[in-house]
């Protein structure tokens, strides 16, 4: 970078190594679908589903950790059924579950990981906007102050 040049996106020069391909500071906690989303180098990848995604090999998924303890209970998952109308209530109920053991310990583990390096929560659901990874990422961002 030449003297006087500002990095793309208006970020300070000390952040330049952290910028993504578009010159933005990447989200500290991102989400990615297990089926076909690109793997971003330099990000820890954690599968947050209770079961392994059907038809995806460990090599293809390239996760650093599988944390089924952070997944919603079977009862909550069945009640929600990926019904968008139930999304606000699902998030509220899921947060209650995440505050209790053993999920609280798993959330603490994710917070430690996200504090050390950018983190991607991997999920298998078809709905990219209404799933536990999206709800969990919002909670982690709040706790990280992001």
**% the chain with pLDDT above 70:** 82
- Cβ-based burial of 146 (10 A; exposed 0-12, middle 13-18, buried ≥19): exposed
pLDDT at 6 over 50: no
Output the pLDDT for position 37: 85
Place of tokens 């999304």: 87
CA–CA gap between residue 98 and residue 92 (Å, rounded): 10
pLDDT at 49 over 60: yes
- Over residues 81-123, the pLDDT tens digits come to 989 999 999 999 999 999 999 999 999 999 999 999 999 999 9
Check if the beta carbon of residue 49 is closer than 8 Å to that of residue 124. Answer: yes
**What is the overall mean pLDDT for the chain?**
85
What six digits make up the tokens of 27? 């989200």
Taking the CA of residue 97 as centre, how many other CA atoms within 13 Å lie in the half-sphere pointing to its CB?
Answer: 18
């Amino acid at each position: 970078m030449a003297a006087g040049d500002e990095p793309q996106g208006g970020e300070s020069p000390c952040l330049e190594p952290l910028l993504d391909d578009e010159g933005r500071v990447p989200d500290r906690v991102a989400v990615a679908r297990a089926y076909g989303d690109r793997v971003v180098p330099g990000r820890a990848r954690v599968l947050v589903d209770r079961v392994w995604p059907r038809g995806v090999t460990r090599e293809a998924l390239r996760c650093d950790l599988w944390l089924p303890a952070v997944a919603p209970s079977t009862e909550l998952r069945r009640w929600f059924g990926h019904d968008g109308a139930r999304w606000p209530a699902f998030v509220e109920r899921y947060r209650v579950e995440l505050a209790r053991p053993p999920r609280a310990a798993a959330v603490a583990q994710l917070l430690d990981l996200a504090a050390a390096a950018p983190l991607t929560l991997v999920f298998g659901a078809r709905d990219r906007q209404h799933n536990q990874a999206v709800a969990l990422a919002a909670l982690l961002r709040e706790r990280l102050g992001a």
